[in-house]
Homo-oligomer: A and B are copies of this chain.
Amino acid sequence: MTTVLGLDPGTRHFGWGVVERRGTRLFHAAHGIVHADERTSIAARLVVIELALVEVIAAHAPDEASVETIFFAKDAQAAAKLGHARGVALLVCARAGLDVYEYPPARVKKAVAGSGRAEKAQVAQMVRIVLGLAEAPVGDAADALALAVTHLHRAPIPIPGMKGVRRR
């Protein structure tokens, strides 16, 4: 079994999702959004995010983490802010011994919804179907689950009775 923690960092809403792979099947374990109070300082919000992620990792013991690549050239200020939350995410994962993988948004959309230009709602719907959820998870949590699914689709699956592994 491989358990992957998907993370969609943000300083106000931080999405996370845990997906397990047993054999070739994927299972939803949990997901959520850390809402950090916008009226507090960014430093205080990072503490809230850290605590929440430490708890998620303790509860679900993921093996690996999957985080979105930062790549947008338009706004340095927004990139820096996002970097704060992403930095804390990488820190918490590395401290817990998780290997961290990153995927560009278009790759995630393609892996989950079949097209690099899929809409957000489409991604959430496909996450719902792939993981057999009763309803589509909201925004940032859907993206976090999509990141975990993308990583599990991509990572080599051990074939029972064989020594090697193959890429899907």
- Chain A residue total in the interface (Cβ 8 A): 32
List 4 tightest A-B contacts by C-beta distance, closest first. A83-B83, A84-B87, A87-B87, A43-B94
Beyond known contacts A43-B93, A83-B83, A91-B91: 16 more, CB 8 A cutoff: A43-B91, A43-B94, A43-B100, A46-B94, A47-B91, A47-B94, A50-B91, A70-B76, A70-B77, A71-B77, A72-B76, A79-B83, A80-B86, A83-B84, A83-B86, A84-B90
Q: What are 23 inter-chain pairs, A to B, with CB distance below 8 A?
A: A43-B90, A43-B94, A47-B91, A47-B94, A50-B91, A70-B76, A72-B76, A76-B78, A76-B79, A77-B79, A79-B79, A79-B80, A80-B82, A80-B83, A80-B86, A81-B83, A83-B83, A83-B86, A84-B84, A84-B90, A86-B87, A88-B88, A91-B91
